[in-house]
Structure 1
Amino acid sequence: MTSVPHVLVLSGHGRYQDPWHDGAATSHRIAEVLTAPRLDGTDDLAGPAYQVTVRGSFPGALDDLDPTTDDVDLLVVNTGSGRADPGFDGDDERWAGFHERLRAWADAGRPVLAVHQAANSFADSPAWERVLGGRWVDGTSMHPPIDEATFTLTGAGHPLTGELREATSGTVTAFDERYSYLTVAESSTVLVTTVHDGIDHPVVWVSGAEGVRCVYDALGHDVRSYDSPSRQALLRTEVAWLLAGA
């Protein structure tokens, strides 16, 4: 890992862009949060915590993503459901190499943070749901209207839990959507939930896929989510934990 870790944010574009999410805007806000100056332990600013590259999703977007090098330290997936009709942005075969490179990165144990609509993205990938450790299911998953929302830390016993509790005091509030009725793999470890219809719904989890280091974070519908200090703390803590084990 480089002294200032390099984060690649994959932003929804083309096939993985939808009319409900401004991927360019939220990806830019993610970059702003992660490049904010850090302290060096003496309350003096010591430069950015991370260097961040934002790149749109296109078939060759991951051609240089090599799990055997340190050119990239963390991949953030901020893509949408999109549209997969071949006449719009190529057929499945044209995108097969993109998905294979993403799978190879994840299966090599290189860190992945997937946010919000990433749970409803890459429907044409044979590996993405396994890597993610869950998925949005059309006709089942939903969210109530966007509003000021509360998300509560759970997942006692996982090493990330203590770090999140210290960073957020156990609660995250943000103007955001509350994703509900997502499918979560039994092997995944749920860390944060939200309440809808009297039910606790998982919104942040660590994938339990063998050999994979991936966190899914359902927050981040639009830039207003990232205006929340506790949401920013959630994001930074997830990134730091993923990189600490890289």
Structure 2
Amino acid sequence: MNQKALIFYGGWEGHDPEACAAVVAGMLRDEGFDVRSEPGVAVLGEADLSSFDLIVPLCTQVEIKKEPLERLCAAIAAGTGLAGFHGGMGDTFRAAPAYQFMVGGQWVAHPGDMMDYRVEITQPDHPLMQGIGDFDYHSEQYFMHVDPGNDVLAVTRFDGTHAPWVKGTVMPVAWTRHHGEGRVFYSALGHNASEFDVPQMKEILRRGLVWASRGTGR
């Protein structure tokens, strides 16, 4: 039986939620997943979330009521995987600390907006990072509030050009963690659908999606 994935997408259109959802759905289908992709967050209050092996949030700056949020958190704690990227997962429910606790971080700024920066792989021998060396990237350089318990796989360094007070700050770009029995993966890369053309961005996300899914190797 194929693994099952749920993608819910929407929110701020600048992140190309529908286009990104289509790309991620295709990636997951290539990995053998049965994929359900739904606009908005209503599905979180209606579907049997525990029936999915993986849930992928692709909503930026949306609101959620208490009950569907509790259902989502409970499903992840019971073993469903959670994985995603950029603001679609790192700035989904800005007013929901329980969600941020589960993700392990929350976006707060991107000084300089779209810019060139360097991504440094901190665990080159980790299965999710093997063969992916440090690389240059053009996008928003995310400054996030992060959980110090995250298992950080990649970082970026702020040079202070656009916010001098954060010069020298080393910021996680990609991490894994656990929430109860569920595995969680996050990557800050991927402002819009065009960034899937960057092979390192796409491969890191592909590996993270598969890793987080229930029933795959740790």
Verify same fold: TM over 0.5.
yes
Measured at CA, do residues 169 and 80 of structure 1 come closer, stay the same or move farther in structure 2, by a change above 3 Å?
Answer: same
Give the aligned partner of residue 133 of structure 2. Answer: 170
- What's the CA shift for 1:173? 4.9
Give the match for residue 155 of structure 2. Answer: 193
Q: 1:207 aligns with which of 165, 177, 201?
A: 177
Structure 1 residues 19, 223: CA separation in 2 closer, same or farther (over 3 Å shift)? closer
The match for 1:33 is 27
Q: CA deviation at 1:125?
A: 2.7
The one of 94, 104, 114 aligned to 1:133: 104
Q: What is the rounded CA distance, in whole Å, between the counterparts of 1:56 and 1:227 in structure 2?
A: 24
2:4 equivalent in structure 1: 6
Which of 146, 152, 156 is 2:120 aligned to?
152
Q: Indicate conservation of the 8 Å contact 1:144/1:177, yes or no.
A: yes
| CA distance, structure 2, for counterparts of residue 149 and residue 53 of structure 1 | 34
* 3-state SS, counterpart of residue 20 of structure 1: helix
1:112 touches 1:242 (CA, 8 Å); kept in 2?
yes
1:132 positional shift: 0.8
In structure 2, what residue type is equivalent to 1:54?
A: S
The number of residue pairs the alignment matches comes to 207
* Contact 1:173–1:228 (8 Å) recurs in 2: no
On the 8 A contact 2:85/2:205 being kept in 1, the answer is: no
Shift of 1:115: 1.6
Write out per-residue CA displacement over residues 32-90 of structure 1, whole angstroms, 9 at most, x where no aligned residue: 33334xxxxxxxxxxx53332221123344421332x3xx21101111014x5xxxxxx
2:15–2:192 CA contact under 8 A, matched in 1: yes
CA contact under 8 A between 1:173 and 1:230: conserved in structure 2?
Answer: no
Contact 2:58 2:84 in 1 (8 A): yes
Which residue pairs with 1:40 in the alignment? Answer: none
Percent sequence identity is 25
1:41 aligned partner: none
- Tell me how far apart the structure 2 counterparts of residues 173 and 27 of structure 1 sit (CA, whole Å): 25
More strand by share: 2
- State how far apart, in whole Å, the 2-side matches of 1:19 and 1:223 are: 11
Counterpart secondary structure, 2:127? helix
Correspondence 1:183 to 2:145: yes
Structure 2 equivalent of residue 241 of structure 1: 211
Structure-2-length-normalised TM-score: 0.82
Alignment of 1:13-28 (within 5 A): 17-28=11-22
Pair member with larger Rg:
1
Gaps of 5+ in 2: 160-167
Distance 1:190 1:77, change over 3 A: same
